[in-house]
Amino acid sequence: MSEFKGKTLVLSGGTRGIGKAIITKFAQFGANIAFTYNNNEEEAKAIVSDFETNYRIKARCYKLDILEPETYKGVFEEIDKEFSCVDYFISNAIISGRPVVGGFAPFMRLKPKGLNNIYTATVLAFVIGSQEAAKRMEKNGGGAIVAISSTGNQTYIENYAGHGTSKAALEIMVKYAAYELGAKNIRVNVISGGPIDTDALRKFPNYEEIKASAIARTPLGRMGQAGDLAGGALFLCSKDSYWINGQTLIADGGSSFS
């Protein structure tokens, strides 16, 4: 029997891209799913119905704005009404569009508001979401937390300074969380991807250029797809990764060495 059967995953940003692929993987392995959406309520409800019908697990969706991280508390209170425990938490959601203006830009056009928004959505949302998850995991004897990062904090990506620096901060925050939550039997890790073909990347003005370069630089000869981080995320929540804590697992088809 799958170790995930009957366990509960909470994930932010499950309506599209990498988050949707991760919750689908966990649902296939029998986990119950509580996930958040921001704008796409209709899609979120369709996913709930699809999961409950096809995977026979419990699924629920909740509205969340990661630019208001404190609102995570209310979301977890709602989750408490439907799920008896939280076993895994994955901080995945990312902002795009207007809120990243001045944050997604060349260095000389960076502005505090856009940079702060990206930091809030990336680091502060991880902190508050993980605190709420950890309180529940502790009562349950432990759990696993995973943050989604990107290799744009290690290699140059045009306009990516705001995201790259926030992802770097996120990865250090994960190490602090891992150190302090270890005593509660809660492990905290990162899975980091290279460029992945999702809505977030398609909004980049130089999307076609990034795509061509990613294919050329990846030894496996293709662009990353939304599902390419799901297996790694599942592994970092599984018992098989019991001795991995405070680490970053890179899943990029080998492109970061090129």
Ligand X SMILES: NC(=O)c1ccc[n+]([C@@H]2O[C@H](COP(=O)([O-])OP(=O)(O)OC[C@H]3O[C@@H](n4cnc5c(N)ncnc54)[C@H](OP(=O)(O)O)[C@@H]3O)[C@@H](O)[C@H]2O)c1
* Chain positions contacting ligand X, by CB under 6 A: 12-19, 37-40, 64-67, 92-96, 148, 150, 193, 195-196, 198-201
For this structure, is 207 an active site residue?
Answer: no
Name which of 175 and 184 has its Cβ closer to ligand X: 175
Residue nearest to ligand X (CB): 17
For this structure, is 37 an active site residue?
Answer: no
126 phi-psi bin (left φ>0, alpha ψ -120 to 50, beta other): alpha
Q: What share of the chain is helix, strand, coil (3-state, %, to 5)?
A: 50, 15, 30
- Catalytic residue chosen out of the listed positions 7, 88, 160, 242: 160
Task: Please name which of 185, 174, 98, 95 lies closest in space to residue 139, comparing C-alpha atoms.
Answer: 185
- Catalytic residue chosen out of the listed positions 62, 167, 184, 207: 167
Name which of 6 and 229 has its Cβ closer to ligand X: 229
For the beta sheet containing 186-193, the strands, ordered from the edge strand earlier in sequence to the opposite edge, are 59-63, 32-37, 8-11, 88-91, 143-150, 186-193, 248-251
Least distance in angstroms from the C-beta of 129 to ligand X: 10
Tokens of 165: 């620096």
Least distance in angstroms from the C-beta of 154 to ligand X: 12
Least distance in angstroms from the C-beta of 194 to ligand X: 6
The two beta strands, 248-251 and 186-193, are parallel
Name which of 95 and 174 has its Cβ closer to ligand X: 95
Which positions are annotated as active-site residues?
160, 167
